[in-house]
Chain A
């Protein structure tokens, strides 16, 4: 790679324009190659003036508290070595860190949605559970950030979609369920649904779904999207988590 190529790669890395192989290459060079690091630093300095054109936005009052709570959970590099795991779990600092951590609350929100859902599904679910343990569960949240449907995948490649609450499908339309087996790739349809009730979906032709895989539902013509990609608005989405 010529010096000019490296320089272009460094600049496009700083701009955030790299994708795919070039992005991986730039990240590798940034970790290992001092001359590349120097090129990146030069471009950062050249472009830094743009950062000064952003209007100041006053952070919300809790942002600093959340950062400070995050510090509890991860001591500074130079501070004492982390206590052994057994002690860390019981340390009040860590608990307080969790209490304030964005990520924790985010997962707690999902867990709460899941708990509500399990209640909604009722006793039948539990009676059936031994034989029909789902492998992954995705709670799809609607525009109002409320659980709108739940999707469960099973070890045999089937999946089940259960709409929640008062989901309505617009007249003369369907909802179509999509997933992203490759997070960087195009969505793939896994089923078209005309009535709001629990339905089976077919995932057998797709790579085995993984946790964090995204599922989304769009509104489509009655027979599904004519293009093979979502054409209507996305009304719900959520990522899958491993069912324990």
Chain B
């Protein structure tokens, strides 16, 4: 696992530069972003959407938006990578909201194409030791840590979190709010 992550990181693409070239209509630059980021983006989308076809749709739509909006990206106002993933998450969350409203049961996808839900503690273990997110999450109580992690990585709603963790809706809401205050204090 470590090795795989390491390999991904090695072909260092200058995303700022690539987005600038996209804005000038250079398709090779978009392709370079795709080669460098698409597998990770698909992994992020799979965690949110579970189904491969939907996750690929989210990545597809994201790249079309990146191409269309590349000229509006301003490196002075934030990091290129988080800009990319913000587009991806928005798109995936919109698909997720649309889908969960319509999907009364999850039985439409053949086995094997649906990704397993990940345990929040396992996700914790994979967070970088050098980053502040892991250190600051460790200061939260495990159940609260789990709530905020599941919200982000699986896109669970307040109601779904309440059901999953077996606590009232109001409790989930206040857990999340307090966790956010704690994270903000710890991470700034």
Contacts and interface: CB of A to CB of B under 8 A. Distances in A.
B78 A50 contact: no
B167 interface: no
Contact of B46 (A54, A70, A78): A54
Contacts of A60: 52, 56
Interface residue SS majority, chain A: mixed
A74 B66 CA distance: 12
Contact of A53 (B101, B103, B123): B123
A59 B107 contact: no
A130 interface: no
B67 A74 contact: yes
Interface of B: 1, 4-5, 8, 22-25, 27, 30-31, 34, 38-40, 42-44, 46-47, 52, 55-57, 59-60, 63-64, 67-72, 77-79, 81-82, 85-86, 89, 93, 96, 98, 101-105, 107-108, 123, 126-128, 131-134, 148-149, 151-153, 155, 157-158, 176-177, 180-181, 183-184, 187-188
Contact of B81 (A41, A48, A187): A48
A131 B1 CA distance: 65
Interface residues of A, number: 57
A240 interface: no
Contacts of A66: 60
Contacts of A12: 176, 180
Nearest to A11: B180
B56 A44 contact: no
Given A47-B133, A102-B60, A57 B42 contact: yes
Top 7 nearest A-B pairs (CB, nearest first) are: A54-B43, A56-B39, A53-B126, A49-B133, A57-B42, A79-B25, A234-B104
